[in-house]
Amino acid sequence: MTVHFAFQNTYAALPDGFFARVAPTPVAAPRLIKLNRPLAVRLGLDPDLLESPEGAEILSGKRLPEGAQPIAMAYAGHQFGHFVPQLGDGRAILLGEVIDIDGIRRDIQLKGSGPTPFSRRGDGRAALGPVLREYIVSEAMAALGIPTTRSLAATITGESVMRETVLPGAVLTRVASSHIRVGTFQYFAARGDTEGVRRLADHAIARHYPQAAQAERPCHALLEGVIARQAELVARWLQIGFIHGVMNTDNTSISGETIDYGPCAFMDHYDPAAVFSSIDEQGRYAYANQPRIALWNLTRFAECLLPLFSDDKDKAIEEAQSVLAEFPGRFTAAYQSGLRQKIGLFTARDGDEALVQDLLDAMAKNNADFTLTFRGLSAAAEDAARDQDVRAHFADPVAYDEWAVRWRQRTSEEPQTPAERAGVMRTVNPAFIPRNHRIEAVIQAAVARDDYAPFEELIAVLAKPYEEQPAFADYANPPEPHQRVLQTFCGT
């Protein structure tokens, strides 16, 4: 039997200016590192066949599956605030689209599959480390319940790539609701190609916001939909301590999924100014800046749509500003709702926002671990004796003690039992996140020793982030001082 993908190719049916037709570059000796078998089943694929030698060849780009129409997508983007009119898929090739078992259309894309017309002097390849990082973090995000692209497979190519040093080459098979970005719209808008923007908007509406097609003003409804999803997404990032690291407009998906895991990281101790990306020298994409940057990116998206709003530019701008004004309220509502859940509140009352902010301020001042503080609160909500576990995260435990008095007074005003409160809190406060030092240890084992046992174990632990997993309790711990990872890097 042969590996079968029931490909559809709606994006490849758009005009040629939307992409370049290019096949993956064959690799020397592909070997499958990891197949995401549950995801394969959801995509209607046979995991046993994908784990065969033929499957490894397809997942590495050495063999093109039947029905694929490989393309590299065109897009532009603001990178750290500076506009680049042509970027595009420089090391990724979209094979096609499949309909999953829920009836949802999914892109299947190879990252690191060779040069394309958009490579800009790059080799189009990926090193093993960034492939493993994206596999780990994207699948952890999915398990945490955060909208995200997914990783179907990681394949080693049998070839080397040259970065700062010689590294093993690899390919990631990425799955996404689509790869349409704010930067995709910018590509056409920058060229004054209003018809291109219109075709792209129609495609995005049909694929992601079908209800917008029935609206009185479909393009306004499209903007409203993208704003709503981005507000919710970024609120969820902040609630789990996630820092994207490079929120360029070309890394902002209009589907509302987290996309492009380059220099991303989860915070250890809480710090609103935390930056891990080695290239973010000004802190543009720091943890607490992410909502502001999301709105900035959405404003760039709205600018692309202006010609579709009205022929009167002033009127179009006014209408766009009116829609964009919805973002702060949507974000704040989602963010505060999530924070109330994290401290076990079931209703919204005056003073709740200040109560949570005071905890965050105390955590920042006392270098308290973000994830473990909230996870500890989940236990303390059920048993006050567990306060000891939480206060141990604070440089000055009295700061927690003073806050906990107010917290318990507030929770006493609600009818839920301590067990009920703790049970809900455990569903939103993970015990396990993909900590930077753990990811780096996995990459080092794979690159230096071709040892994937640490990778497999970390993936298994992160698949159940809200469960206790006593046998793997060490994975919940923050790094020792000598293990701290202060910078992460792009995968290019």
In contact, 98 and 46? CB cutoff 8 Å: no
DSSP state of 26: P
In contact, 263 and 279? CB cutoff 8 Å: yes
> What are the CA-CA distances from residue 379 to residues 369, 382, 468 (Å)?
16, 5, 11
In contact, 165 and 172? CB cutoff 8 Å: no
Nearest by Cα to 250 from 301, 194, 317: 301
Instruction: Name, in order, each residue with C-beta under 8 angstroms of 103's C-beta and a sequence gap of 6 or more.
Output: none
DSSP SS3 for 429: coil
The Cα–Cα gap between 170 and 448 comes to 14
In sequence order, the β-bridge partners of residue 152 are none
Query: Is 383 in the active site?
Result: no
Nearest by Cα to 154 from 229, 67, 60, 45: 60
Of the residues 89, 250, 260, 387, only one is catalytic, namely 250
* Bridging pattern class, strands 71-73 and 19-21: antiparallel
Whole-number CA gyration radius for the chain: 23
Q: What are the tokens at 149? A: 């692209």
Nearest by Cα to 147 from 291, 295, 259: 259
Instruction: Name, in order, each residue with C-beta under 8 angstroms of 366's C-beta and a sequence gap of 6 or more.
Output: 393, 394, 395, 396, 399, 400
The Cα–Cα gap between 67 and 71 comes to 13
Nearest by Cα to 179 from 251, 103, 131, 262: 251
In contact, 404 and 358? CB cutoff 8 Å: no
Q: Within 310-429, where are the H helices?
A: 313-324, 326-342, 352-365, 370-380, 387-391, 397-411, 418-426
In contact, 456 and 409? CB cutoff 8 Å: no
Longest dimension (CA), the chain: 66
Q: What are the tokens at 168? A: 């093993």
Taking the CA atoms of residue 287, residue 293, residue 298 and residue 299 in that order, the dihedral angle to the nearest 10 degrees is 160
Catalogue the active-site residues. Answer: 250
